[in-house]
A = this chain, B = another copy of it.
Amino acid sequence: MSAPEPLRDPASLRRLLSPRSVAVVGVSADPIGFGARSISNMKNFAGPVWAVNPKYAGQELHGYPCVGSIADLPEAPDCVLLALPRTGIMAAVEACIAKGVGGIIAFASGYGETGLDDRIAEEEVLRETCRAAGLPLVGVNCLGIVDHVLKAGVTFMPEYPRMTAPPGGVAITSQSGALGYALMQAAERGFSVCHMTTAGNATDLDVCDLAAYQLTMPECRAVALAVEGLRDGRRLALLGDAARKAGKPIVVLKLGRGEAGAAAAVSHTGSLAGSAAAWSAAFKRAGMVEVEDFDALLETAGLFAKAPKPTAPGVAIITPSGGAGIMAADHAEAQGLSMPQPMPQTEAVLRAAIPDFGAPRNPCDLTAQVASNPASYDACMEAMLTDPQYGCAVIPVVYSHHASTQLRMEQLRPYAAKFGKPLIIAWIPERLE
């Protein structure tokens, strides 16, 4: 058995994935065309941007200079986005190779994912052409990339300039374009994302290459990865090594876990999904954190991006609701986490602070009496966080008291700083703020 293909050298992807100049090929005057929507997403980008379309050569198109061909571009762009149908791709790729561009992105669908032999062959030729020329390709059948540091929305997804969150924290790589962008929209509610790539058919670059690049970004503190399939699953181990070396966690969601989902994955990105158990084992070996739910993907990556490393394996659960404590304990146990009982001196403090119908244990139930006696919260936080068995604390916030919930957060904040342990606030109320 031969070794897996090594991951692409991140340095060779820098021009394409964090571009300083961008050309969009196939921009029409129609504002809802894929090219027009893409170039409009570059509004807040600082570097040069060109439209390419022979019909509008020498004019302005959507506020950008338009040239007649790739050859006519005044310089070789870092990133060339091909907003062209499949039939126009190969000629454009050859022009890009001749020009010496940094890399290309192709939205075009209709390749191997159709299951048609001639289309599979056409995609093979495209791969070989790009690889022979050393021209990295994102796609085909993808949705583009976003560099949120550079404000480069190299994607046809609408309204990228609305996303104004401070860049940093989490990098997203998704095989599915739409799901990648759905995650990216967290930036609209202030969630810090630095980068997004969508692999589509992974004709050239697959999610492992793309995520490995993101690990080298200084702004990236964690990677959120959504994958349907890989030509060679052993590349996950290479990516795991890169993550370990970078000291950055990868959180991963596998799509197409069941039979029906796996069958759908074939016609989506031509991916063979394989057995869910085999994938889970591979993620584990690669040191990645697998989640089973889309909602958990960005949430978990975001937590890792923010939280310091736990100082011990034990988890402390502290809450004014017995029910929430039970729920947290259920989840912790399901994840195989250790929840040691407090040391005697810790327990003594808890016992003194909590009513006799509370629980001076782990999970620690302060009971609703905490409303009349906020000092008991402080005493228990201090005691549990001092206990060296606990590397982090989970604090379910059970209901939202409009007048005081924000104050409670302020009350908790200093403890995270004082003990250098992550405080994980679990927001439970059905009210959303």
Q: Are B323 and A177 in contact (CB under 8 A)?
A: yes
Query: Is the pair B322, A264 in contact by a Cβ cutoff of 8 Å?
Result: yes
Q: Say yes or no for A298: interface residue by CB 8 A criterion.
A: yes
Interface membership of A109, Cβ < 8 A: yes
B431 touches A188 (CB 8 A): yes
Chain B residues with CB under 8 Å of A185's CB are 399-400, 429-431
Tell me whether A126 is interfacial, beta carbon within 8 Å: no
Considering the chains assembled together, what is the distance between the CA atoms of A21 and B99 in angstroms? 83
Query: A111: which B residues are within 8 A, CB to CB?
Result: 357
Contact indicator B178/A363 (Cβ below 8 Å): no
Contact at A368–B159, with CB atoms within 8 Å?
A: no
Q: Assess whether B399 is in contact with A326, with CB atoms less than 8 Å apart.
A: no
Q: How many copies does the complex hold?
A: 2
Determine if B330 and A32 form an interchain contact, defined as CB atoms under 8 angstroms apart. Answer: no
User: B430 touching A189 by the CB < 8 A rule?
Assistant: yes
Q: Is A124 an interface residue (CB 8 A)?
A: no
The contact string, 1 if C-beta is below 8 Å from chain B, for chain A 74-112, is 000000000000000000000000000000000001110
Give the complex CA separation of A332 and B259 in angstroms: 11
| Residue interface mask A139-162, B partner, CB < 8 A = 1 | 001010000000000001111001
Check if A174 is an interface residue, CB within 8 A of chain B: yes
The 8 Å CB contact of A226, one of B141, B181, B323, B361, is B323
| Chain B residues within 8 Å of A226, by CB | 323
- Say how far A154's CB is from chain B's closest CB, in angstroms: 15
Interface check A401, CB cutoff 8 A: yes
Q: Judging by beta carbons under 8 Å apart, are A268 and B365 in contact? A: yes
Known: A183-B430, A186-B430. A260 touches B178 (CB 8 A): no
Contacts of A371 in B (CB 8 A): 32
Chain B residues contacting A368 (CB-CB under 8 Å) are 143, 156, 177-178
Q: Determine if A300 is an interface residue (Cβ-Cβ < 8 Å).
A: no
CB proximity to B under 8 Å, residues A261-276: 261, 263-265, 267-269
